[in-house]
Amino acid sequence: MLTEADRARMEADMLEIRNDRPVSIAIRRGTVTLPAQTVRIARGGNIQAAASDTDAVQAAVGAVIVVGDKTLDIRPGDRFTVGAALYEVTAIHPNRDQAVQAQARMVH
């Protein structure tokens, strides 16, 4: 069983990972833009990138993981932009005790 010290170390480890390559994002939720939050955006592991051509509109879609501290305010359907890339959040990982991790898709 995990102790409080174990949980504190896990939280510190996740913050260290996030802070290794931090990005500040302003999440758009409907018509509201939330204050900027610090996250790390990483390639989505074994999630495959895909390309689509629907109604003569071509888009490249790649999956990413968004990692933030346990106070990260992010929900499915949220959108944010980093550089020229638009991201849309598709899922939130259920265990949020030490950090928040979300899946998002990047559309070029």
- pLDDT tens by residue, 34-62: 999 999 999 875 544 454 555 555 555 58
pLDDT tens profile 3-15: 999 999 999 999 8
Fold category of 4-107 in CATH: Thrombin, subunit H (2.40.10)
pTM of the model: 0.79
Coil, strand or helix at 7: helix
Beta bridge partners of 62: 106
28, two tokens: 């758009």
CA distance 85 to 58: 15
Examine the pLDDT at 67 and tell me if it is beyond 50.
yes
Share of residues in the chain with pLDDT > 90 (%): 67
In contact, 73 and 34? CB cutoff 8 Å: yes
Residues in the chain: 108
CA distance 90 to 104: 5
> For position 57, what pLDDT does the model report?
52
Position with higher pLDDT, 96 vs 37 = 37
